[in-house]
Chain A
Amino acid sequence: MSSPDTCVHCNLPIPPADLVVDQIDGKELHFCCHGCQGVYRIITGAGLESFYRNRTWDEQGVPSGAFEADYDEASLAGHVIRRDETTADISLIIEGIRCASCVWLLEKLLVREAGVTAIRVNYGTHRAVIRFNPQATTPAKIFSAISRLGYLPHPFSPGAAQQAAAREQRSLLIRFGTAAFLSMQLMGFSFALYGGYFHGIDPEIRQLIQYFAAAVATPVVFYSGWPFLAGAWRSLKNRSASMDLLISLGVSTAYCYSIYAMFKGGEVYFDTSAMIITLILLGRLFESSARNRSISGIDKLLRLAPDSASRVDGDEVNTVASASLVPGDTILVRPGERIPVDCQVLSGDTEVDESTVTGEPMPILRQAGDKVSAGSLNLSTSIRLKVEKVAAESFIARMARLVEEAQNRKAPIQSMADRVATLFVPLVTTIAIGTWAFWWFSGASHGEALLNAVSVLIVACPCALGLATPTAVLAASGNAAGKGILFRGGDILELTSRVDLIAFDKTGTLTHGQPTVEQIIPASGQTETTLLELASRAESGSSHPLAMAVLASAKTAGIQPGPAGLVTAVPGRGLKMQCKDGEILAGSRTFLTESGVEVPTIDSGTRTEVHLSLGGVWQGLLLLHDPLRQEAQQTVRELKKLGLDMVLLTGDRPETAQQVSENLAMPDYQANMSPADKTAWIETRQGDNHTVMMVGDGINDAPALSLADVGCAMAGGTDIALETSDLVLTRPDLESLHIAIFIARKAMQVIKQNLFWAFSYNLVTIPLAASGKLAPVWAAAAMAGSSILVVSNSLRLGRLVRRTFSVAKPPASD
C-alpha cells in the first residue's frame, strides 16, 4: 500500500528530517509527522485499520494546517437545529472526502464520540447531518473530532433555494411514482376494455371497469399532473402558449371526454391522459436530478475562503471570524492554510498556490510587499499578512458575485417544444371552435357539434407531439451518460446542438494541468539515469508540483533514489541538500548562479528548467512542461470537421498560448485573460449571434462557464467548475466533447423528425375529425400508433451512438 519512503497515513513522501518511526503491533511504521502518527493511532486504536485497506486513493493527504483548527462555540450554535431537550441536528460540509472509505471512517468513528447519536455522510455532496445530544457534547467538540481525523468540517445551513430544490425533487419523485403505479393499474383495466371492444363485453361489466379506470386515472391527472396544470394556468394568465398548456389541453380533453363517455356508454381514453403524464414526468425527473446533483457552485466558492483567521494582536494570536477582519489588521497564515481575505505580505517568503485565481498549477513565490488573494493556499512557511480588503470585498466574494451576475444575465431560452406549442395551441383551439361553430350553424344537434369539436381536440391531443421532445431527450441523455457525458437538461441538449464557437481554457483542459519531465539534458560525462537519480534524491522530500513530476518520472524509469540528507528549501528558488557526495542544488538558473555554479546557456523555450549541481559543479538540467492531453489534437480535428470555430482563452503568457494553439492547429488565442476578461469576451461573441460553449476546469473559469450558452467542465476539474457548468464530461477525456456535440445534434434531428411526424399525423386526422368521419376508437388507435413511432424513433438514437462510437474507442480498462 505505501512504499517505505511515504507516510503510512497520508502517503506523502517523508522528508528525511521529519521521519517519525513508531512501533505498532510489532511492525515498524513510518510517518511524516506526529499528526499522522496520532491519527493512525486513533484509527487503529478504534479497530478501524481496514480503512487503510479500503481506501482507493494514493494521493497526498490533506492540508497540514488543518489539524490546528479552532472552533468557536458561539458561531456554530447558530447552525444547530434543536429537536427536543436531548436531540439536536447540525448540518455540515466535510472537506477532504475522497472516496467511500472516508465516508465509512467518518461514520464509524464519529458515532463513537460521546453524545453523538447518529451520523449520515452523503458521498455525492460531501454533506453530513449529525444528530447529537446537546447535553452530552457540543458542536465544537464534534468539529474537533472530525478535524482530528484530518478532514475539514464547515457548518452548512442549506439556503432557502436549495431546500426548495430538494423538496421539489422529492415531490416530483412521489408524483412520478404515484403516476407509474396508477398507470400500471390502469393498463390492466384498459386491457380488459380493449378486449371487450373487439370481442364484445357485457355493458354492465364494461361500465364497472370504466369506473375503476376513472378512479385510478383521476389522481394521475390531478395530483401527478398538477405541475402541468399549474404551468398551463400560468401561461394562460400570461397569455402565452407553452408545452405545459399543450399537455394540459390534451390531457384534460381526453379526461373530460372519457368521464362524459363513461356515463353515456361510450369508449374511454383514461389511459391516454395517464400515459402522457407518466412519461413526461419521467423525463422531468431525469432532468431535475441531473440539475440538482449537488449544492450550488456559489456556496462551494464561498467556502474556499476559511471561516476563521488567526489575528495577531500585539503578542497574542487570536482566532477570529474572517468576516470580522478589517483592513490594517495583521494576520498569521500557516503553511497548509488558505488565505482568508485579500492581503499584502508583511514578512516571510513563501510559495503560494494561486491556482484558484489564475488556474495555473505552479506555486508562485510571494515575498514582503506582494499581494495575495483570498482563497489561495499558503504552501511553504508561516507568513504575516496585512489585511487589505474585508471578506465581502475579497477575491472569492468578488468571484461569487461574478458567477451570480453571469447566471442572472444568461437569458432563458425558449425551447423548441415551447415554440411548437406557441404555434400549435392557438391553431388547434381555433379549429375546434370552428368545428363546433360549423356543425352548430349547419343545424346539427348541440351534442353532436360538441362531440365533433372534442374529437378534434382528442386527435390533436399532443400525444406524439408531447412525447416528441421528452423521449428524444431521455434517449440522448441516457446514451450520453453511458459515454461519460452529463447533459443537465433538455435545453442544454438543444443549445449544445446549436453551438458554433468553442472557447477552451488551457491549463487542465487542453493540458493535463500537471507538469511532467519532458527532456533530460545531462552535462557531458553524465547519463540521463544518474541525473534523474540525483534529482529524485534531492526532491524526494518535497511536495512541490515540480518535485512530484521529477519523482514520478524517476519512478517510471525504475530509479530508486539514494539516501537523502538534510534538505533546505528556498521558496521560489529550489532546494539544497547535504549528502555524503557533497551539496546538491536543485532549482532555477538564478538559484544555481547565485550559489556560484556555472550554468551554460540553453534555450528551453516555454518550458520550466530545473538545474542540478553536485558539489558546485553543474550536472545537467531537466525540462518540464505541462503536456497537452493526448486526445486534444484529435478532438480539435474532429470538432473542426463538425464545422465549429475554436479559440483558446488563457490566463497564461502569450508565448505559451501561441505554442499551444499552433500545436493544436487552433487558429485563435487570447492570452493574459482574467476571469472577468473571459466573461467579457464571451459576451461580445454572444452579441455577434454566436452560440458559445466554454470548456474549462478552474475556479477562475466559473463565471465564464456560467455565462456561456453551454458551460462544459471535465471530471478532475474543480468542484466549482463542475457546479457552474451545464455539460459535464464525467471522464477526464476531451474526446467525449465531440461525442457530446454529435449526440446533441443527432437528438435535435430526431426531435425534428418526431415533430414532423406528429404534425403530418395531425394534418390527416384533424380534418377527418372535424368532418365527423373519424370514429373515436380509430382516432385512439392512430394516436397509439403515432406515439409508438415517435418513441421508437427516439430509441434509434441509442443504436446510432453505439454504432458510431463503439469501434472508435477501446473500452476503458476497469
Chain B
Amino acid sequence: MIKSIVILIVLSLCIGTGAWLIFIWTVKRGDFDDVEGPKYRMLDDDENNSSPPGTSQGEKK
C-alpha cells in the first residue's frame, strides 16, 4: 500500500518536474519577452513560418 502510494507520488512529481523544466526552458529562450507580437505573427499567411532560433535579446549575458 505505502509502496504504491510512494511510487504514484514520485511519478506525479516526475511528470510535474518535466512540465516545470519545459517552463524554465521557454522563459530562458525568451518566449515571454514579447507577448504582443505572436498573436499577429500567426495571422501572416506565410509558407515557412518557423521562428528563428533563439534570437531574443535575453539570450545575451
Given contacts A173-B32, A205-B2, is CB(A103)–CB(B52) below 8 Å?
no
Given contacts A177-B20, A185-B16, is CB(A104)–CB(B44) below 8 Å?
yes
Contact status A91-B5, CB under 8 Å: no
B6 to chain A, nearest CB (A): 7
B31 to chain A, nearest CB (A): 10
Contacting residues, chain B, for A119 (C-beta < 8 A): 52, 55
> 8 Å CB contacts to B: which residues of A181-201?
181, 184-185, 188
Interface string of A85-127 (1 = CB under 8 A from B): 0000101000000011001100110010000011111111101
Contacting residues, chain B, for A99 (C-beta < 8 A): 40
Contacting residues, chain A, for B53 (C-beta < 8 A): 118
A644 close to chain B: CB less than 8 A: no
Contacting residues, chain B, for A122 (C-beta < 8 A): 33-34, 37, 56-57
Contact status A181-B23, CB under 8 Å: yes
Contact status B58-A170, CB under 8 Å: yes
Contact status A91-B24, CB under 8 Å: no
Contact status A170-B27, CB under 8 Å: yes
Interface string of B29-54 (1 = CB under 8 A from A): 00011111100110111100001110
A101 to chain B, nearest CB (A): 8
Contacting residues, chain B, for A205 (C-beta < 8 A): 2, 5
Contacting residues, chain B, for A100 (C-beta < 8 A): 37, 40-41, 43-44
Contacting residues, chain A, for B33 (C-beta < 8 A): 122, 166
Given contacts A123-B37, A185-B12, is CB(A131)–CB(B6) below 8 Å?
no
Contact of B57 among A123, A129, A185, A204 (CB under 8 A): A129
A158 close to chain B: CB less than 8 A: yes
Contact status A212-B57, CB under 8 Å: no
- Complex Cα distance A129/B55, Å? 6
B19 close to chain A: CB less than 8 A: yes
Interface string of A194-221 (1 = CB under 8 A from B): 0000000000110010001000100000
- Complex Cα distance A118/B5, Å? 49
A54 to chain B, nearest CB (A): 7
Given contacts A181-B16, A205-B5, A208-B6, is CB(A120)–CB(B56) below 8 Å?
yes
B13 close to chain A: CB less than 8 A: yes
Contacting residues, chain A, for B46 (C-beta < 8 A): 104, 108
Contacting residues, chain B, for A54 (C-beta < 8 A): 43-44
- Complex Cα distance A166/B60, Å? 11
Given contacts A123-B40, A185-B16, is CB(A177)–CB(B24) below 8 Å?
yes
Contact status A204-B2, CB under 8 Å: yes
Contacting residues, chain A, for B56 (C-beta < 8 A): 120, 122, 129
- Complex Cα distance A111/B48, Å? 13
Contacting residues, chain A, for B40 (C-beta < 8 A): 99-100, 103-104, 123
The residue on A at minimum CB distance from B17 is A181
Contacting residues, chain A, for B20 (C-beta < 8 A): 177-178, 181
B58 to chain A, nearest CB (A): 6
Contact of B37 among A89, A103, A108, A129 (CB under 8 A): A103
Contact status A124-B27, CB under 8 Å: no
Contacting residues, chain B, for A184 (C-beta < 8 A): 16
A552 close to chain B: CB less than 8 A: no
A50 close to chain B: CB less than 8 A: yes
Contact status B27-A173, CB under 8 Å: yes
Contact status B57-A166, CB under 8 Å: yes
- Complex Cα distance A122/B53, Å? 14
Pick the most buried of B44, B58, B59: most chain A CB atoms within 10 A of its CB.
Answer: B44
Contact status A174-B24, CB under 8 Å: yes
Pick the most buried of A99, A104, A111, A127: most chain B CB atoms within 10 A of its CB.
Answer: A104
A81 close to chain B: CB less than 8 A: yes
The residue on B at minimum CB distance from A167 is B58
Contact status A50-B27, CB under 8 Å: no
Contacting residues, chain B, for A177 (C-beta < 8 A): 20, 23-24, 27
Contacting residues, chain B, for A208 (C-beta < 8 A): 2, 5-6
12 CB-based A-B contacts, threshold 8 Å: A100-B41, A108-B46, A122-B56, A123-B34, A124-B37, A125-B34, A131-B55, A166-B57, A166-B58, A170-B58, A173-B27, A205-B2
Q: A121-B37, A129-B57, A178-B20 are in contact. List 12 more A-B contacts (CB 8 A).
A: A54-B44, A104-B40, A104-B44, A111-B52, A118-B52, A122-B33, A122-B56, A170-B58, A174-B24, A177-B24, A204-B2, A216-B13
Shortest beta-carbon contacts, A-B, top 4: A100-B40, A118-B52, A123-B37, A120-B55
